[in-house]
Amino acid sequence: MHQLVLASESPRRKQLLKDAGFQFETLSMKVSEIPGKNLTVDAKILANAKEKSESAWTRLKSTKNSPFVLLTADTEVVLNDELLGKPADIKAAIQMISQLSGNIHQVKTGLWLRESPSGKEVSHIETTIIHFKKLDSKTIEDYASSREGLDKAGAYAIQGQASQFVEKIVGNYDNVVGLPVQALKKILNDQGWIIEKA
């Protein structure tokens, strides 16, 4: 039996895990997400998730004696093979949503799991395709000014007001919110890592 440790400050990831019935501990941490320039999109996202994992692992190994599985993740919005990241301000949010307007983009989450005591690591990339409606400039400015998307990749929250911008979703919805729960369950099952339930 393992304890699940989520190294993330995202309230959305915490909620998704709770809704899925997981009992878990959280570890707050800040890691600069500046991936290498020469990597593919998927490799950049996994590099971010791995960096978070390595930082958290060092802290946990010195404090925890019982078996645990460390979970880190990085969710990014990808348009034309470019990571949009989180907007710095409302102006940047307007620019990002304008780019997404009327276009198809991807939301990708890199999962990185590491098991104690073995140190075994498993990674996974989940991709969801999003079709955005064509939005007029007032709608874009009003949404950006609401500040809902300022702390989110791509400057929007699919579970919030921005749900009305989405024409079609191909793939996993939870992934767009920030954590592909089904993929996580499959990894845990495939590895035989049994997590304490709430």
| Residue for token pair 């709430």 | 198
44, 78 Cβ separation under 8 angstroms: no
- 74 labelled catalytic: yes
Give the end-to-end CA distance of the chain in Å, rounded to a whole number.
13
Query: Helix, strand, coil: what percent of the chain each, to 5?
Result: 35, 30, 35
Q: Rounded to the nearest 5°, which phi and psi values hold at 122?
A: -135, 135
Catalytic hit among 74, 81, 142, 190: 74
What's the token pair of residue 84? Answer: 């949009």
What's the token pair of residue 29? Answer: 């941490």
The residues carrying an active-site annotation are 74
